[in-house]
A and B are shown apart, each in its own frame.
Chain A
């Protein structure tokens, strides 16, 4: 706060109200994020990695040297099958003569879409379930939490596969299937957090002022569980990426798109897993790095919600 603000005059009320009104909430949130990552080396590495993936995903068509789906031929018309890395094809080619580097770059898009949409949807469902269940309690809580228990009993991958088979193998269906299972862990954790927060006097104070349930839930409780939401959001990105890769690797993915999992699947069906390292390692490593980056970010958030982790450094 600046020193001039100390004198209170009527005109100043206006300026200040704009400053301290709702608009500053976003600024405060951003500042809080910066604060969280300050001095967190691993979290910063995670952010950097993620930024690289985002950049690649955004500009993949420009960065990719070839069309990822094009069967490349040599000058004499022969398909460039299983070529090892060379200056022309930095990561070599596939059995059908496609450029591996281009596929990895384009695959980044799918991974990011699945990761972000899948995580967003599952966290959205899970957060609301947890908020409503924890806040209202009673029968609402019983019903929602038993539903969560049922979802917990569902084996993740088989469920996704079955759902994709039923709904048809499209990218959106894969994302939907992931979200429909993944929300369970977020719901549980958010609920237990809501249970402690709703007992705080400031929540009762919000009700005492006449605040509606919706207001109490979304303007008073939600901001206080937000670090957990971010944490589970970050983890969900990782889980969604892995899930999509698994589904595609097993051959149930979207046949039209190029994803890292599907690259591994084609390499596997081409019997090239052991021979064409350049075809296997890049997509595998990419999955790894992306998942690691979001987990590193998640871990940083976890320190905020679980201060004990800070001591262990």
Chain B
């Protein structure tokens, strides 16, 4: 068995509420309150696998992704990258890890520095890690621009983000991410800000690059149909916790957790002949400071039972490689 590319175990990320000096001094004896954005999340991603994290806004999926590559400092838990403990890396070790894991953001209008030309932006990682001579860098930047479909590269190199369309900007962001030949990519809602007609070309670019560069990827999205298109496995998050993990086919066509069922059922479809039933749950995701001793979904769950409130249910394996955090599946 090979090591997974990325493995996180009981990952936690808490954000303190009211952390200013004044309030600390004034409330020195009060308990510090936290938003438990990620509250014990475990998953692993194999080399060249695509894993998706889905859930409603505020479920902690983006925080989980960023914490997993230490763009945010974890509050607790362990992260292993290629089998190496990542949690307490620092300095040059952390810097060399940064070569391996890259991130793509949702909003291509915000994720490029407006003061950097396309060339400078894509070349910067090479500069940071001191790779190659000036000529080698140039060659590599141009090859990368070419590879992400910004052709001819010379027409783009001197442009500034303000001159580019959304799709072009997202390609520039992708170029910067792959210029270091990473082995892992985190893509946070990579297509949700793009126009419908060009989304597919960006998604297909991700697929091709993953194949060509042997990239493992973590896709984060609220859009299950996008994850279905992109991913081998999907994890569903609710209030900081994974409630279901399994192969894409299983999650979409055979969801087990009542929350996943609701989520899948509420995706609208382009099929006027086939009316879906729609989601069966009411209410909304509670406030992130929400605390409970039982199942987090109990208050909205259509199949709630008294024992759901007795304690947090563990993950049950409902079929091969398919896990669900719901007492319905206790064997």
Contact = CB atoms under 8 A, between A and B. Distances in A.
Direct touching of A and B (C-beta under 8 Å): yes
A1 B158 contact: yes
Interface in A187-238: 200-212, 215, 220, 223-224
A13 B141 CA distance: 9
Interface string B57-84: 0000000000001010000000000000
Interface stretch (A3-11, A126-134, A259-267): A3-11
B158 A220 contact: no
Contact of B157 (A20, A202, A206): A20
Given A202-B112, A205-B111, A208-B102, A19 B158 contact: yes
Interface string B233-250: 000000000000000000
B185 to A, nearest CB: 11
A202 B111 contact: yes
Contact of B176 (A12, A25, A209): A209
Given A201-B110, A224-B113, A6 B129 contact: no
A5 B134 CA distance: 20
Nearest to B98: A210
Interface in B64-118: 69, 71, 94-96, 98-99, 101-103, 105-107, 110-115, 117
A202 B120 contact: no
A142 B157 contact: no
B135 interface: yes
Contacts of A210: 94-96, 98-99, 125, 128-129
B138 interface: yes
Given A210-B125, A211-B124, A201 B158 contact: no
A201 B98 contact: no
A210 B177 CA distance: 12
B167 interface: no
Contacts, number: 109
A8 B139 contact: no
B142 A5 contact: no
Nearest to B95: A210
A17 interface: yes
B135 A14 contact: yes
Q: Which of B71, B94, B113 has the most CB of A within 10 A?
A: B113
A1 B163 CA distance: 12
B154 A205 contact: no
A306 interface: no
Contact of B115 (A12, A19, A204, A223): A223
Interface residues of A, number: 37
Contact of A12 (B99, B154, B159, B180): B154
Contacts of B180: 209
A16 interface: yes
Contacts of A6: 152, 154-155
A269 interface: no
A57 to B, nearest CB: 33
Given A1-B158, A207-B71, A7 B124 contact: no
Given A208-B98, A210-B129, A200 B110 contact: yes
A247 to B, nearest CB: 36
Nearest to B97: A210
A81 to B, nearest CB: 59
A7 B151 CA distance: 9
Interface in A1-43: 1, 5-8, 10, 12-14, 16-17, 19-22, 24-25, 28
B173 interface: yes
A206 B99 CA distance: 12
A202 B102 contact: no
A21 B137 CA distance: 11
Nearest to B113: A202
B154 A16 contact: yes
B152 to A, nearest CB: 4
B115 A205 contact: no
B134 A17 contact: yes
B98 A209 contact: yes
B98 A13 contact: no
A20 B158 contact: yes
B114 A224 contact: yes
B201 to A, nearest CB: 21
Contacts of B94: 210
A17 B133 CA distance: 12
List the 8 shortest-distance A-B pairs measured between CB atoms, nearest first: A210-B98, A17-B138, A20-B119, A8-B152, A201-B111, A223-B115, A209-B125, A201-B105
9 contacts: A8-B152, A17-B134, A20-B158, A200-B110, A202-B111, A210-B95, A210-B125, A211-B128, A224-B113
Given A6-B155, A202-B113, 20 more contacts: A1-B155, A5-B154, A5-B155, A6-B152, A8-B142, A10-B139, A17-B119, A17-B141, A20-B117, A21-B119, A21-B120, A22-B120, A201-B106, A206-B124, A207-B71, A208-B98, A209-B180, A210-B98, A210-B128, A212-B128
